[in-house]
Structure 1
Amino acid sequence: MNNKQKNKVLFSLAQLLELNREKIKEANKADINAFPEMDDSMKDRLKVDDKKIDGMIQSLEEVASQPDPEGKILYEFVREDRLRVVNQTVPFGTILIIYESRPDVTIEAAATAFKAGNRILLKGGKEARQTNLLLTGLWKQALAEQNANEDYIQYLDLSREETQVLIKENSHRVDLIIPRGGEGLIRFVQENASVPVIVSGRGNNFLYVDDNSDFAMAIRLVLNGKKRISVCNAIDKVLIHKNINGLKDKLSDLMTNLTKKGIEVWGNKQIVSLCTDIKEENDAATLCEEYLAPKLYLSLVDGTQDAINMINRYSGGHTAVIVTNDATQAVEFMQQVDCAAVYHNASSRFTDGGQFGVGAEIAISTQKLHFRGPLGAQQLVTNKWFVFGNGQIRE
């Protein structure tokens, strides 16, 4: 499929989403009503309203506006015997995306893989079944309208047991698997898949407040980092330099703002001694936990290097933030912290494919191969060697 046809499919799908807004919201309401016991975090991921539909449409338009990821020449070499060697980008082939709760993945992640020339198998969670089936139907309609093969997008309406068999036996001849969900799902795929896996890692993101910083800015960034509790780019841990001037008053100000937002704040014995409104928690295991809840953990640190060490030991390798007026400290932090995205004086909530300008994302990878951070269409390709000759032989 050439780039022009792919883009026509994406624009057709955007129009179909607009025309079917009410049907999408009705299907989503049925899904939500079928699982009344779900927690607020899952409900937030599952819910599809006009804002989310707008986001899907925008993502499709942005992906369509991007250059074609296929066929880019990465390397070219012509030998003395005129043998021409070219390395260029090609699709992976068939990508299986396994995800939980988020129906927008059916549109945005699939669009990203589709733009790169891949065929997509979608396996969503049972809690979003009605919404996912409707959205997949719109995908197929868009493909049909542009005379494209409807099999480019397939939804696997399988049970958990059937999905596990699929992963173990690779009965659909999948070339790449991208699991998006809890640690149990990701671990099962990693341990049982016979093909490459891209892990869309967990969050557990840290923000460090330096002693030379704008504390009012730090409060804004912390609050924004907890604006949505269900997303992987949320802030869970805040590390604060122990020598900040007026620390006790500043902690009180931070607590007041967090309490107004209904966020539960915990900390170790040292920080609780400065602010008794913080609930005491001294078990270091909490530092490894991704909360996905209105909960935040505070800790005092000796300085930038202490913060770096804690983040590299306990974080999920997703995102880390430093709040400081010292550019040298910021560079040291950003170079040494082992996360996919690092920030100086900005919110962690920008770790998102759309916000980074890559359009829709298929995952935020915390691995170092083959790519790290938000994966857009330009990263969902592999490479292949093309060699052009005229009868050359190797002596």
Structure 2
Amino acid sequence: MELLSTEIKNNVINSMIFQLKENHNLLLNANKKDLDAFKKEDQAMYDRLIINDKKIEGMIVALEEVKAQEDPVSKIISDKSLQNGLKVVNKTAPFGTIMIIYESRPDVTVEATVLAFKANNKILLKGGKEAIHSNTAIVNLWHKALEENNLDTSYIQLLNLNRDQTQAFLKNPTEPLDLIVPRGGERLIQFVKEHAKCAVLVSGRGNNFLYIDKNTNWKNTIQVILNAKTDKISACNALDKILIDKNIPDYQAKLNELNTILKENGVNVLVDEKAKQTLTEEALIEDNALWYQEFLEMKCCIGVVDSVSQAIRKINKYSGGHSASILTTDNASAKMFMEQVDCAAVYLNASTRFTDGGQMGVGAELAISTDKLHHRGPLGLKELVTNKYYVFGEGHVRT
């Protein structure tokens, strides 16, 4: 695929910024069609589907931030002159064609596209049917931006496929695919892994844990938990599971206080057997499968552990590998937790809600990867390239 200059790519982004500003009402009207057709049985998905003035402004900010970022293509990773006279240069290079499969969020259609495009990739967008009008309107604006700069609209394509058609496309794509990013639950991820014939980079489920150590600042603990659980339940970085150390001073009083505050803020609490000895009125977790679930609703589980080691084992067994937090004033416990918990992001005395490209200094993100290759955590602009070796010789042969 032709490498575009940074100037051309930034000109397209500028054109898209203009299109969003000029077609503000068109976008809101398209989104209204999706909202009117959506049955509000899934509140988290409905919240992600909504486009409003604030979200459009967020789209524009994301575009401006990516435009301002350094072009990630053709950057030198290493440059070596070998003893045999060969010069070996390793440089960043585009993936080629990226496919993203996602639900609900029309703002992803903007952010994923600008990241893929500035990294000189084509992108195929497979959004959910619930957002078809919104996504179509956004992609049409992207096409206008491309055409204004004399570029082919094939750089950005919206795929309107049902499940069977998607399966067929993954097995026999109409053009070479270099990377697929499924953003969704376990069923979607397994579906893509089963049928895809190219690399799949998983944006996994959240199911994030928070551990309250026996040594903690209790006031900060309550603030962090409320933010992580209630700030935005539809986000993959929202809190689902709380583990409390039974050796914390005034254990029962603190457990009761935590439960009361969660319930006062509309959170449905479920407890393990040890926690139920204190929280006798709360529902018991009768199936351990619940510890694996990402809720995306005002619900959380509270479990009791006897040490940081037990908390680590439980998190590594049940979490989605996304985010986990320890609340403690003990540096040794913090170090042990952060080194041994197997998640893309680990926190000390902070909310899991910070696992976000913009919040972590990455900028706009394609997804939060829970894979370990080729990148883990927020997939920003710099992460949407691969590498390529340039080897220079003068008639060299290997002997």
Give the structure-2-normalised TM-score.
0.96
TM-superposed CA distance for 1:36, in Å, is 2.0
Aligned position for 1:258: 262
Other-structure match for 1:294? 298
Cα shift at 1:338: 0.3
For structure 1, which segment, 364-373 or 7-16, has the greater mean C-alpha deviation from structure 2 after superposition? 7-16
Aligned position for 1:89: 92
Query: What's the CA shift for 1:70?
Result: 0.5
Matching of residue 114 in structure 1 with residue 117 in structure 2: yes
**2:276 corresponding residue in structure 1:** 272
Paired AA for residue 270 in structure 1: K
Q: For 1:268 and 1:369, how far apart are their aligned partners in 2?
A: 35
Question: 1:235-384, aligned counterparts within 5 Å?
Answer: 235-384=239-388
Deviation >3 Å, runs of 4+: none
Moved more, 259-268 or 79-88: 79-88
Provide the residue aligned with 2:225 in structure 1.
222
Question: TM-score, normalized by length of structure 1?
Answer: 0.97
Q: CA deviation at 1:37?
A: 4.2
**Residue 393 (structure 2) aligned to one of 374, 389, 394:** 389
Counting aligned pairs with the same residue, the percent is 52
1:303-343 Cα shifts (integer Å, max 9, x gaps): 11110000001100000000001112111100000000000
Contact 2:40 2:46 in 1 (8 A): no
Letter in 2 for 1:178: V
Taking the aligned partners of 1:182 and 1:37, their CA distance within structure 2 comes to 19
Aligned ranges for residues 128-167 of structure 1 at < 5 Å? 128-167=131-170
Q: Does 1:200 align with 2:182?
A: no
Alignment deviations for residues 107-138 of structure 1 (CA, whole Å, 9 cap, x no partner): 01111111111011111110000000000011
Query: Which SS does the other structure have where 1:120 is aligned?
Result: strand
Following the alignment from structure 2 to structure 1, what is the Cα–Cα distance between the partners of residues 295 and 184? 14
Judge conservation of contact 2:38–2:46 (CA < 8 Å) in 1: no
One-letter amino acid of the structure 2 residue matched with residue 244 of structure 1? I
| Displacement of 1:278 | 2.6
Contact 1:255–1:277 under 8 Å retained in 2: no
Kept in 1, the 8 Å contact 2:366–2:380? The answer is yes
Q: What is the distance in 1 between the residues matched to 2:122 and 2:242? A: 41
Q: Distance in 2 between matches of 1:105 and 1:48?
A: 11
Q: String of CA shifts for 1:179-224, please: whole Å, max 9, x gaps.
A: 1122211101101111000010000000000111011211111111
Q: Which amino acid aligns with 2:187?
A: G
- Tell me if 1:102 matches 2:105: yes
Residue 342 of structure 1 aligns to a residue in which SS? Answer: strand
Q: Match for residue 190 of structure 1?
A: 193
1:35-80 alpha-carbon deviations (Å, 9 max, x no partner): 2243111101111112211221111111111111101111211123
C-alpha displacement at 1:387, in angstroms? 1.2
RMSD, aligned CA: 1.3
Count of aligned residue pairs for this structure pair:
395
Partner of 2:49: 46
Match of 2:62 in 1: 59
Q: How big is the shift at 1:157?
A: 1.8
